[in-house]
Structure 1
């Protein structure tokens, strides 16, 4: 049986590499039917969780409930970290963060690695349990590579309740010294949230040029400029963003209205700023068991 499963998984991986999703799905379904065990249920559940369900014409459908049912069935037969990780991802994508935390923490008992600790931290952050998020971000820091440690540092900073603390100041400076265009928005938000308006102002021109900003970050841009009486600059930022929105192919009137309110009404601007959340996806972790 073991040799047959190993051969089947190799065949599945070949089909996946060829983007032949329906055939890969059929192989996994046949394995779960012919060899009903924790490993085959895990493999089909993982496929449904991360790839979805396919018909003969390769049309893709959501398969959340099928994946959840199979992964739970696998876990009833044996404790498999891969099944816990896939379940955690499923719950995370459905914003069921409490369930995601439980799954990721159980997986961490066996897989004490960076992605698992990071996903626990991120799930706690989404639940607004910032103290626990910071603790788990620190655990992730201890496990990651240099690039991964940067991701964990940023998450830890956003989980902090006092960005002016000496430890946070050191971490912020470290982030600021990294030349990476993908960090422009994070750098600006961290600078703004720690109250350094002059430094934040200096980042706005490049930020507007390179990034497509959501309303809560635009509210920070307005607040930063208006707090320094740079009304013309704030108005230019608003007009520029409205022009960008008009280039989109969907109805942008509601978003434009939000931006105009954020520009003109301080109370609304503050509410938008308070609604900001660090938006980073969970790290994919999935394994087909042989």
Structure 2
């Protein structure tokens, strides 16, 4: 009997550890930072080339979230190019470079959106890339978001800034404000698991049921908890819809119409006095 119990305990311990290791909590990471226009080295031509991407704890590439460069500056993102599958580290605009689900475009200028310098916002849905499509929710654990940026077109065409920030993806909400440096600062990382209730005292109950997903523009929100306001963000972190609510709407249905927006993924964010809960939805007209 003692031997049987010993093996049973060992099996249960293995099962618990295995379950924790391979948990895949769905959620949303919002990453914001400020990039002042550098003075040392000074900016050449007023432009800024940059990439933002996610890696796991072992340095394996997960997903690109932003890539802005042009053919004349595509040798300025060597680290990102080596991570995301580009043919070489000097061609960051090639077809092999993985920019699935990423914000992308030419070298940023003061006249473009997003602008070359100033506040920037990135949203990650906790998923990897499978082939050429948005993939599956990755395992919980330690991840790192990297920023590589170049603004000086010197004779060696080397990048001028490379910095990473570590965070934990899992069932617990995480807010981090790492120091950054002179070039990348005012950093904020906010991971919110989808399963987290806005009201922590009712954590086993959903805040809302949203349907249909995808939708042609009108989403139904069946409230299961108190909600003060609704904010909808696009994947750049820009607010595209906001509505203040009467909190006494539990067990009622609210419709929001965002059919005026472009097709794509959006984050519906619900807030009350206990916190925030985010839900990713798809607009497909």
Q: TM-score, with normalisation over the residues of structure 1?
A: 0.26
The one of the two structures with greater contact order (alpha-carbon pairs below 8 A, sep at least 6) is: 2
Structure (1 or 2) with the greater helix fraction: 1
| Higher Cα radius of gyration | 1
